[in-house]
Structure 1
Amino acid sequence: MSEQPEVLVERDGAVLVVTVNRPQAKNAINKAAAEGIGAAMDQLDSDDSLFVGVVTGAGGTFSAGMDLKAFLAGEKPHVPGRGFAGLVERPPAKPLIAAVEGFALAGGFEIALACDLIVAGEGAFFGLPEVRRGLLAGGGGLLRLPRKAGLPKATEWALTGDRIPAQDAHAAGVVNRLVPTGEALPAALALARQIAGNGPLAVQGTKRILTEGSEWPAAEAFARQWEIYAPVRASEDAEEGARAFTEKREPVWRGR
């Protein structure tokens, strides 16, 4: 009987579903898993028929973070150009949703934070426990968590290493949608399909402005926004969107 791959990749229409498939290791990330996720992100970015990605974990758990046993054996769960887990340093240009059940801890939480949206089951919890091991969260958690939760909450959670119930993460704005336990993936897919129904160029441009805009100098913000907006406004999709609206029908997006 052949071994299951470390990462499962499936299509759901215009949505790419990426599942970390190491339940025996609590979906901890080793080199093979990082490479599998990175390859999936490359596929999402390069395939014009894919509009949105969903990342989840097998067996009722999202991810325990880096596989420490593999790390001690000399493995580095990084992908050149994309960083830890093939994702955290360079997420895809297209929207990415984390569907979290069980727990997302350490690097697992950093994977979720690298996604644009998080959907979590009510029984899920999150955390950056690295300080309890004499380490720090170097996979983007300390950079992204303050933006999503605010500096006071992020500081408390990162310095204590506490586990954060999904309800608290939702109240802080880290989790976008809180759903019954076991429903995170179906809810994430429903959200992904809703996003995928919109103009793909417009969605990608919107994500880019949301991601980069806070770093722009105020005096340059509208000029930089225009650089992204102008090609979208001049696209065939923009014309199709206006035409479909006037003709009272659903648009047919071509991504150009």
Structure 2
Amino acid sequence: MSHDVHHFSMGLWVFFLSYATAVVGSFVGLSCVRRSLDEPRRSGNWWLLMAALSIGGVGIWLMHFIGMMGFAVPGSAIRYDLAPTVFSVVLAVAATLLGLWIADVQSVSTRSVPEWLRLGVGGVLMGVAVSLMHYSGMSAIRIQGTIEHEIGYVVGSVAIGIVASTVALALARRTRRTVVRVGAALVMGCAVVALHYTGMAGVRVTLDPTALPPAGMTVMSLLFPAFVLGIIVLAVPITALLLAPGRDDTVRDEQLEQWASEVERQAAREAVPNSRW
């Protein structure tokens, strides 16, 4: 028999904190995506890696477990298995990185891939990454009973993640304006939070009084190290973005290099003795 569950047992502040976390992680990650487009391929890949850590590790994974602070099942303790929890964060980062890389790739073989196709595939993968992270994270939950998910809510949550991820990625790639990236991060944050709570609305719990009490970690014991790692993960790309030269600086450096090269060539021509008498 299905049992009642609570999703905001600690109050609505958990919802707003989870949304803010998703927005901040998405904004930092999408800023790294924008920066990668101005860099050579090798250094651009490092920016994409920082973007995947920010979006997948903080905007998706950390947001999920912040939201889970409000999840309660009256009559049963809630614990988390460490192995699937760690797997969920690795999955979120890896799948996000793959989606960003596909959206960024310029060509396959000798034929250029249309931008709309790259963005579409990248958005699908990013949306699926959010979904896989959510449900792999949910598989780590241990209660005195069983947890099931209604298929309609699962499909709806995946669709939300795919559509909003594609829109956010497209906005981030098309403009250098910070205000538009903020809008893209707000959209991405909405996608993550909407997917999370849509999926949670489909949770059905059946308690078993004869089962042993669940073993594992509490959500608070998971969140403390997660917060520390999240701060470090965000500090690295934020510092890199602040220290990276702007586009105007890059153009000016290129012009100076070109001028210096022309001066050297001119000096070399003048140094060659005239061979004609």
Shared fold (TM-score, shorter chain, > 0.5): no
Task: Pick the TM interval, shorter chain.
Answer: under 0.3
Bigger Cα Rg: 2
More strand by share: 1
* Larger RCO: 1 or 2 (CA < 8 Å, sep 6+): 2
Q: Give the alignment's TM-score, normalised by structure 1.
A: 0.24
